[in-house]
Structure 1
Amino acid sequence: MGSGTERARGRRRDSDASRAALLAAARDLFGRRGYDAVTLRDIGELAGVDASLIARYFGNKAALYRSAVDEDSREVTVSPEAFDLGTFTATALRRADRRGAPGPLVQALLSQSDHPEVRAAAADEMRARMISPLADRLAAEGLQNPAGQAELLISCLVGVIALRSSGLFDSLSAMSPEAVGAILETAAQSAHERAPHTAGSPVEEP
């Protein structure tokens, strides 16, 4: 019985290792190439695991993508009580710099994928992880339309991550993550001073 238990444990360790390798490969490839450009065979080859095991462990490519995004997002913790956009931005940019790519979440948001469920899942993740905590903070500070302001600021962050990784803008690429974060945090802090006029409200003449 003892040897049977050991064999079962060995199979479980092999199974866990294969699943982890596939997930790590998916995070890497989806983060660099985007969803549509990556095949299950690509993921299996990078992981050194039979790609047919993806169906066993994850179900299908879209489910593997969602797992990759969720795993990627777990590395960044956000306090819903006090979302510090500057610190979050610096952390996100340092991660993108280390891997030399925007990451699976940003890639999915910016893609023109033929799989709308993938972009929808990415948008839901972005709302849960970033937009909602920032909107809660802005609402607590008395800002009008906190959800819209939060979406605007996080959209700026997404664009910065994508363009910084592209190398198309030398000055942006040369800025430190902390400097970029400070600019976005300043924008968040000063947003309540730029409250827009509501429809029908009088506009002061210059």
Structure 2
Amino acid sequence: MIIKGDDIGKKFGKNWIFRNQNFEIESGKPTAITGKNGAGKSTLLQIIAGFLTPSNGTITIDGKSIDDANYSSVLIGPYTEIVEEFTLKEFLSFHSKFKKPTISIDEMANSASLPLEKVIKDFSTGMKQRSKLLTAFFFHNDVILMDEPTSNLDDEGFDWWKSQIDNVKNKTLIISSNEKNEIAQCANKINL
């Protein structure tokens, strides 16, 4: 799979966040989006995910417009919501109605050291982050987009994240961050 950005720009109101971005992201070659705070890293990630429309330029996936391409993706970020009234088991079971899991729900929870029967609203922020990451690592996704993926993770959580990243590097992996330990996983970089 190849995701291509041609002359991508985004403005809010009269102000351009970034302009003239050209890139090519290939499956199996993890890519980082880097830049100063406010440079538009999260915005570009959301454009690639199809959540935002660029003010200029086009995104294609294998030569088709992003709207016409057939692929499965997930976006994990500090701003992505999780249904906190569910237990982890209910959340993962609900998610499995939309995407095929690659391992059992019990194996997912054990992998991330999370309790299946606890209500998510009672989780710490790090536990909630690991819960979100389960949907990236253990469900069928062609494209995995992560915005500051290790925020709120302790050392054990970071080690778990890194071990899982090593298992998905053959997919299209895009990480938006300035954290050196996160972007170290990526051979390619788009600098805003």
Instruction: Tell me which protein shows more helix as a share of its residues.
Output: 1
Per the normalisation by structure 1, the TM-score is 0.28
Greater relative contact order structure (CA < 8 Å, 6+ sep): 2
Structure holding more strand per residue: 2
State the TM-score, normalizing by the size of structure 2: 0.29
Higher Cα Rg: structure 1 or 2? 1
